[in-house]
Amino acid sequence: MTAARQIRGAQARLSGRRAEVLAAAWLMLKGYRILGFRLTTPLGEIDLLAQRGPILAVVEVKRRAHLDDALDAVTAEQRARLRRAAAHIIAHRNGLRNASVRLDLIALAPGRRPRHLRDAWREA
């Protein structure tokens, strides 16, 4: 791996972490309680886990040049992994077993307010 590629990778990881912190702050301003950052399960990783009332939001955070590009950035395979990871966490945390799970997206773009899409990929 070249030094330039290593630098780009480190910058991307730092940008992603900053985006997740900004997204968490945005959710807290909206009354959500953040239950976890970058939660890793055997079935996938969850950027943010947040709760407001009976709703457990599994939040994917995407930073793109344009807000509209963020929704398309999450593939069907990634959404399936998020659902499996959420099921794993719920199965292992007694206090979450009765929560209604929802997959949300927080889209971030330079110079724009965060956009929170609740139930971004609702299954028909």
- pLDDT over 60 at 18, yes or no: yes
Does a structural domain hold residue 95? yes
Does a structural domain hold residue 62? yes
At 85 the pLDDT is 93
DSSP state for residue 112 in the 8-state scheme = S
Does a structural domain hold residue 18? yes
CATH code of the domain in which 105 resides:
3.40.1350.10
Does a structural domain hold residue 123? no
Lowest model confidence (mean pLDDT) among 7-16, 22-31, 47-56, 110-119: 7-16
Residue type, 13: R
Does a structural domain hold residue 106? yes
CA 56 to CA 101: how far, in whole Å? 5
- pLDDT over 80 at 120, yes or no: yes
Average pLDDT, the chain: 88
- pLDDT over 80 at 122, yes or no: no
Range of the domain at 87: 3-117
Does a structural domain hold residue 11? yes
Does a structural domain hold residue 111? yes
Number of domains in the chain: 1
CA 75 to CA 2: how far, in whole Å? 29
